[in-house]
């Protein structure tokens, strides 16, 4: 191993740098060091870069008294390079998937599979509270519970989406939204997570899947990935089209996958009585929650951070699926093109990027 590695590091709002960083070291007996062979960038990374999570710096200063930046990223596959003394399920040389959620496995919340609220320092910490996977090496806490052995025959460009995009779409969108055979589903937002919802919802055979987005390129992609209907609100009346598709009833499940007041309104305006609204998008501003008109509809509204408690199941499911999951990977780069990869994903509207892949 060399003494430094390429990494994408956040230093503050709109200050993200590609630089050489020291290699990570084992800090706890439950740690593993993974050499990242394939990774990708998430919209959450962009949110951090734009200053959405200033607590990253303040927490770091509280813990160590200094701020040296934070390596972004929480998705990736790779090879185990070293393990702590308490790690029993993995050894150097193992090919692994890194989960976006780390978990101790023993606290009260982990016992309930509420891994996103691990009480012993787990949860979504990679690329947030500790250095993440947008680097050539990463330290993964609670390795026995937070890594997955990677099947030899699983395509790497499918596997990497099992770190976050597919489990998030499946758990917070599909499962919480109670997608089921014969149901009408509305997905508002055709970004990577919305596409994760679209793909994994098809495991449950809904009758219709309506995808709403302003980007015609993404709507075309949604059609190839299984959407039965697509709607661009800048051109068409979403409410009228949904009413026409559902005989005026509205959808059984509305999944909000953007995180804006307008997309929340689209979901709440088009849900039928007894339906489910599943909020997957990360909201940074208040929304109008019109309880006076919603209370009578017997609705269920859910929110959440992915627990990654279905990652193992999804890993098996995608191995025997013909869904075009690999199509999410629209752009490919190597480590020496890390800055270009970041720029491409940051300007997705112009580059038509869905997910960018960075390979060793």
- Residue ending a domain, among 302, 317, 339, is 302
Average pLDDT over residues 13-27: 97
Average pLDDT over residues 181-196: 97
Contact 290, 276 (CB under 8 A): no
Based on the fold, state whether residues 195 and 284 are members of the same structural domain. Answer: yes
Cα–Cα distances in angstroms (integers) from residue 100 to residues 84, 128, 133, in the given order: 20, 10, 9
Q: Is the dihedral of CA 58, 63, 65, 67 positive or negative?
A: negative
* CATH number for position 66: 3.90.180.10
pTM greater than 0.75: yes
pLDDT of residue 1: 53
Candidates 75, 84, 201; CA nearest to 148 is: 75
Q: What is the pLDDT of residues 126-180, one digit of tens each?
A: 999 999 999 999 999 999 999 999 999 999 999 999 999 999 999 999 999 999 9
Burial group, residue 91, by CB count within 10 angstroms (0-12, 13-18, 19+):
exposed
Based on the fold, state whether residues 67 and 40 are members of the same structural domain. Answer: yes
Return d(Cα 149, Cα 218) in angstroms, integer. 32
* CATH number for position 174: 3.40.50.720
Strand 208-212 relative to strand 229-231, pairing: parallel
Residue 251, strand partner residues: 271
| Segments forming the whole domain that contains residue 345 | 4-164+308-359
- Residue ending a domain, among 302, 323, 348, is 302
Based on the fold, state whether residues 106 and 222 are members of the same structural domain. Answer: no
Based on the fold, state whether residues 106 and 184 are members of the same structural domain. Answer: no
Candidates 155, 56, 141; CA nearest to 100 is: 141
Spell out the SS3 assignment of 180-192.
CCCCEEEEECCCH
Based on the fold, state whether residues 30 and 152 are members of the same structural domain. Answer: yes
Based on the fold, state whether residues 50 and 140 are members of the same structural domain. Answer: yes
Based on the fold, state whether residues 238 and 108 are members of the same structural domain. Answer: no
Average pLDDT over residues 196-214: 98
Residue 82, strand partner residues: 33
Candidates 73, 290, 272; CA nearest to 177 is: 272
Q: What is the pLDDT of residues 268-319, one digit of tens each?
A: 999 999 999 999 999 888 999 999 999 999 999 999 999 999 999 999 999 9
Return d(Cα 125, Cα 342) in angstroms, integer. 21
Beta-carbon contacts of 55 under 8 Å, excluding residues fewer than 6 positions away, are none
Q: Is the dihedral of CA 274, 256, 219, 127 positive or negative?
A: negative
Asked if the model's pLDDT at residue 125 lies above 70, the reply is yes
Based on the fold, state whether residues 199 and 279 are members of the same structural domain. Answer: yes
- Residue ending a domain, among 254, 271, 302, is 302
Q: Which residue, chain included where needed, has tokens 């998030």?
A: 168
Based on the fold, state whether residues 240 and 91 are members of the same structural domain. Answer: no
Number of domains into which the chain is organized: 2
Cα–Cα distances in angstroms (integers) from residue 167 to residues 197, 199, 228, 279, 317, in the given order: 9, 11, 22, 14, 12
From the centroid of its chain, how far is CA 157? 15
Contact 268, 294 (CB under 8 A): yes
Based on the fold, state whether residues 206 and 120 are members of the same structural domain. Answer: no
14 C-beta neighbours (distance < 10 Å), count: 9
From the centroid of its chain, how far is CA 190? 13
Q: What is the pLDDT of residues 235-280, one digit of tens each?
A: 999 999 999 999 999 999 999 999 999 999 999 999 999 999 999 9
Based on the fold, state whether residues 324 and 250 are members of the same structural domain. Answer: no
Q: Which residue, chain included where needed, has tokens 């949604």?
A: 222
Based on the fold, state whether residues 84 and 220 are members of the same structural domain. Answer: no
Return d(Cα 110, Cα 123) in angstroms, integer. 10
């Amino acid at each position: 191993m060399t003494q430094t590695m390429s990494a994408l590091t956040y230093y503050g709002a709109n200050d993200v740098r590609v630089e050489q960083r020291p290699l990570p070291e084992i800090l706890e007996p439950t740690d593993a060091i993974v050499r990242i062979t394939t990774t990708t960038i998430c919209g959450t990374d962009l949110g951090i870069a734009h200053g959405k999570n200033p607590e990253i710096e303040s927490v770091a200063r509280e813990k160590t008294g200094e701020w040296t930046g934070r390596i972004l990223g929480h998705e990736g596959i790779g090879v185990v390079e070293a393990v702590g003394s308490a790690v029993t399920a993995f050894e150097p040389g193992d090919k692994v998937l890194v989960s976006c959620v780390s978990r101790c496995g023993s606290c009260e919340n982990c016992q309930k599979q509420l891994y996103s609220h691990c009480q012993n320092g787990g949860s979504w910490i990679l690329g947030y509270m500790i250095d993440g996977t947008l680097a050539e090496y990463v330290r993964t806490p609670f390795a026995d519970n937070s890594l997955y052995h990677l099947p030899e025959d699983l395509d790497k460009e499918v596997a990497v989406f099992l770190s976050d995009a597919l489990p998030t779409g499946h758990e917070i969108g599909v499962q919480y939204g109670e997608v089921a055979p014969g149901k009408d589903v509305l997905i508002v937002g055709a970004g990577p997570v919305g596409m994760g919802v679209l793909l994994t919802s098809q495991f449950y055979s809904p009758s219709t899947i309506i995808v709403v987005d302003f980007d015609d390129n993404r709507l075309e992609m949604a059609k190839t990935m299984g959407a039965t209907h697509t709607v661009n609100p800048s051109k068409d009346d979403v409410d009228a089209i949904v009413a026409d598709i559902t005989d005026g009833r509205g959808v059984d499940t509305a999944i909000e996958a953007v995180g804006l007041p307008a997309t929340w309104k689209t979901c709440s305006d088009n849900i039928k009585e007894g339906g489910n609204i599943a909020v997957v998008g990360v909201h940074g501003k208040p929304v109008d929650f019109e309880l006076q008109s919603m209370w009578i509809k017997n609705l269920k509204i859910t929110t959440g951070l992915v627990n990654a408690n279905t990652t193992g199941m999804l890993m098996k499911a995608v191995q025997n699926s013909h869904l075009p999951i690999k199509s999410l990977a629209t752009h490919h780069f190597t480590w020496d093109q890390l800055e270009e990869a970041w720029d491409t994903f940051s300007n997705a509207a112009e580059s038509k990027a869905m997910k960018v892949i960075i390979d060793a």
